[in-house]
Chains A and B, each alone.
Chain A
Amino acid sequence: MFICAVPTFLIMYFLMYPRNWKNKKRIYGVNNRNEFKTEQGAGMVESIVSAHNKQATVILIVLLVFCTGLLFVPGLNLKMMSYTILIYIGLVVFNIPFALGNSELKKYKKVLGIVPEKVLYADLKTVGRVHALNRPAIILANVAGVLIIVAALLCDLKILPIKFGMFEGTFLCTGLVSIIVMMNFIMLPIAFMVDNYRNEVISENSDINTNYNRAKKRNFANYMISICWIDNIMALAAIFIFCFAKVELISLILVGIYLLAIMGATAVFAKNSITLNKKYAHDEAKLVEDDDDYWLLGMFYYNPNDKRLNVEKRVGVGGTINMAHPAGKVISVFLGAIIIGSILALIYVGMMGATPIQVRFENDTVICHQLRDEYKISKSEIVSVESGDLTELHAIRVAGTGMENVAKGNFTVNGENGCRLYLNPRAGKYIKIVTAKHTYYISGNTAEETEALYNSLSASVQ
């Protein structure tokens, strides 16, 4: 999470808050104009930029301090949750100076008497002709991804002579590899979409427009292709680590390398974008389409007159949607629901981490409860009950929760698939309940609590 959060904040900082605003195409999502560079305008713009850049620098320092501080938070669950909250807060807070700067510059445009002309430019020599995506390369990367999934599936089906040891028959490897390669399937349409984005008109010279747009699209296409190959390498590495019994450390290292590689590719992309815009800066601002008012806070595009659904982002990587488009409205609601849903999920996980599990035997029923009743095992269903030490169990999660104080859901235990777990890993002891349908492994929060429950349960069942 640290590896992920720090570069994200740094890249955001350098992309959103430019040092030398006079050479930039846009300032806080507002088109940089010649009027801003006059003696009268420059002073005001400079004061707006320096004030908000300063705020952003302070926010960056605070976020980096928190990021480092969270490394020392005890407990993996608490650490992960804290980082997730920090990233959410960071993403919001980091945009505040940007949004303020955007609104102040728009106000200043009015003070300068700049009236939006609503003029659009199109270069007939670039329309529909500038493409830079190496289509065979990205399709090859996706085909390679599919082959890796097939390889993982063949291993899981024991057709290929690669042994997954205790993971055999769980299809965990196929699932994980599919999730990683799924990223490629998302990259593929995005790459094609960006390659077909409208070409910016930055100069009256069509050659300059062609070169600029081609370079910009090539930079993004290379970024997409490199991400696809990083995913493929990671998926292959996932198959490799499944051959080992002790996967925890290796997978942690690989996840770290993967995140670093993704961040590295993003940093290269961002650097190339900055270099490209700097190179063509002298050609820009001659033909300025004044569509600033369609960019709410400089981030959200809302233009009812524009028939396009997706447009290039003003700041950052890739594109965004036109929220005034009918499909854009649906997507916006959907994305909003995802964000709210993920925040609610985070709160739920937090509550789960803070709430101890309860396992009790009452009215001839074993009830497993945490936040809500999850398992109810009637005495009549129980075939056998036994107890043991948790060190004897080797459980692999298939679907469910695996936290420091709770492991529940569907697990593969000591090679047996489809077992239901409901225990506190710190308890030290477990109770194995076999019914006609499932095998349950449950525990209380302590060894004593577990033993007491076992005694009452075994006495009742006998």
Chain B
Amino acid sequence: MIIKINEYSDVPIYLQIRNQIVMGISSGELTAGEQLPTVRALSMEIGINTMTVSKAYQILKSEGYILTDRKNGARVRMEIDQSKSLSAQNKDELRRIVSEAKIAGMSKADFDKLTEEMWGE
């Protein structure tokens, strides 16, 4: 799985890493139990501080996407908790996106089509 880090983005690098790993798990590019690179290896590869990668992994761990241990490093969890609902933070984010789509004049049908496409990715 390829992750893309944009140095000019307003989104902090640790969040870019976190978001792309989540998207990778969702799309199936990262399978359950798959080994992730070590903090050191990933930071060396991208040329960023180890703390940045460590922070991304800590968030992913606290959110229940990955498991970390000293022996095996980081792995995608075999079973990720399925609450079958969005977190409050994500609901707020979705509300913002829907609002912006409305302001932009997007129809509900187009919006549904877009989410349908994304759901399938």
A residues in contact (CB < 8 Å) with B: 117-125, 127-129, 196, 198-199, 201, 204, 206, 287, 303, 305-308
Q: How large is the interface on B (under 10, 10 to 19, 20 to 34, 35 or more residues)?
A: 20 to 34
Q: Is B49 engaged at the interface, CB distance under 8 Å to the other chain?
A: yes
Main secondary structure of the interface of B (DSSP, over half): mixed
Q: Which residues of A contact B40 (CB under 8 A)?
A: 128
> A118, A122, A129, A305: which contacts B2 (Cβ < 8 A)?
A122
Contact B45 A199 (CB under 8 A): yes
- Which among B30, B36, B45, B48 has the greatest number of chain A C-beta atoms within 10 A? B45
Q: Which residues of B contact A201 (CB under 8 A)?
A: 2
- Enumerate 8 A-B pairs (CB-CB under 8 Å) in ascending A order: A118-B8, A119-B4, A121-B4, A125-B1, A127-B37, A128-B45, A129-B37, A307-B44
- Which residues 4-19 in B have Cβ within 8 Å of A in the complex? 4-8
> What is the distance, in angstroms, from B114's C-beta to the closest C-beta of chain A?
23
Whether A124 touches B5, Cβ cut-off 8 Å, given contacts A306-B47, A307-B47, A307-B49, is: no
Q: Is B43 engaged at the interface, CB distance under 8 Å to the other chain?
A: yes
Whether A118 touches B41, Cβ cut-off 8 Å, given contacts A305-B47, A307-B48, is: no
> What is the distance, in angstroms, from A3's C-beta to the closest C-beta of chain B?
39
B residues in contact (CB < 8 Å) with A: 1-8, 21, 24, 30, 36-38, 40-49
Q: Which residues of B contact A129 (CB under 8 A)?
A: 37
Given contacts A121-B2, A128-B40, A287-B2, 13 further A-B contacts (CB under 8 A): A117-B8, A119-B6, A122-B2, A122-B45, A123-B1, A123-B2, A124-B3, A124-B36, A125-B1, A196-B44, A198-B46, A305-B47, A307-B43
> A124, A303, A305: which contacts B1 (Cβ < 8 A)?
A124
Q: Which residues of B contact A123 (CB under 8 A)?
A: 1-3
Whether A308 touches B44, Cβ cut-off 8 Å, given contacts A121-B2, A127-B37, A128-B37, is: yes
Contact A127 B45 (CB under 8 A): yes
Per the bound structure, the CA–CA distance linking A117 and B6 in Å amounts to 7
Contact B3 A128 (CB under 8 A): no
Contact A305 B3 (CB under 8 A): no
Between A and B, how many residue pairs show CB distances below 8 Å?
Answer: 71
Per the bound structure, the CA–CA distance linking A117 and B4 in Å amounts to 11
Contact B42 A119 (CB under 8 A): no
Give A307's nearest chain B residue, CB to CB.
B47
Q: Which residues of A contact B8 (CB under 8 A)?
A: 117-118
Per the bound structure, the CA–CA distance linking A308 and B41 in Å amounts to 11
> B1, B30, B46: which contacts A120 (Cβ < 8 A)?
B46
> What is the distance, in angstroms, from A328's C-beta to the closest C-beta of chain B?
13
Per the bound structure, the CA–CA distance linking A122 and B1 in Å amounts to 8
Give A119's nearest chain B residue, CB to CB.
B6
Give B35's nearest chain A residue, CB to CB.
A129
> What is the distance, in angstroms, from A331's C-beta to the closest C-beta of chain B?
17
Per the bound structure, the CA–CA distance linking A349 and B25 in Å amounts to 66
Per the bound structure, the CA–CA distance linking A308 and B40 in Å amounts to 12
> What is the distance, in angstroms, from B16's C-beta to the closest C-beta of chain A?
10
Contact A206 B6 (CB under 8 A): no
> B4, B30, B45: which contacts A198 (Cβ < 8 A)?
B45
Q: Which residues of A contact B2 (CB under 8 A)?
A: 121-124, 201, 204, 206, 287
- Which among A124, A127, A128, A307 has the greatest number of chain B C-beta atoms within 10 A? A124
> What is the distance, in angstroms, from B49's C-beta to the closest C-beta of chain A?
6
Contact B6 A122 (CB under 8 A): no
Contact A124 B44 (CB under 8 A): no
> B1, B6, B36: which contacts A118 (Cβ < 8 A)?
B6
Q: Which residues of A contact B43 (CB under 8 A)?
A: 307
Whether A122 touches B7, Cβ cut-off 8 Å, given contacts A127-B45, A128-B42, is: no
Per the bound structure, the CA–CA distance linking A117 and B5 in Å amounts to 10
Per the bound structure, the CA–CA distance linking A123 and B8 in Å amounts to 20
Q: Which residues of A contact B46 (CB under 8 A)?
A: 120, 122, 198
Per the bound structure, the CA–CA distance linking A123 and B37 in Å amounts to 10
Q: Which residues of B contact A121 (CB under 8 A)?
A: 2-5
> What is the distance, in angstroms, from B6's C-beta to the closest C-beta of chain A?
5
> What is the distance, in angstroms, from B26's C-beta to the closest C-beta of chain A?
15
> What is the distance, in angstroms, from A233's C-beta to the closest C-beta of chain B?
36
> What is the distance, in angstroms, from B110's C-beta to the closest C-beta of chain A?
28
Per the bound structure, the CA–CA distance linking A263 and B39 in Å amounts to 40
Contact B42 A122 (CB under 8 A): yes
> A119, A204, A303: which contacts B5 (Cβ < 8 A)?
A119
> What is the distance, in angstroms, from B74's C-beta to the closest C-beta of chain A?
10
Q: Which residues of A contact B48 (CB under 8 A)?
A: 307
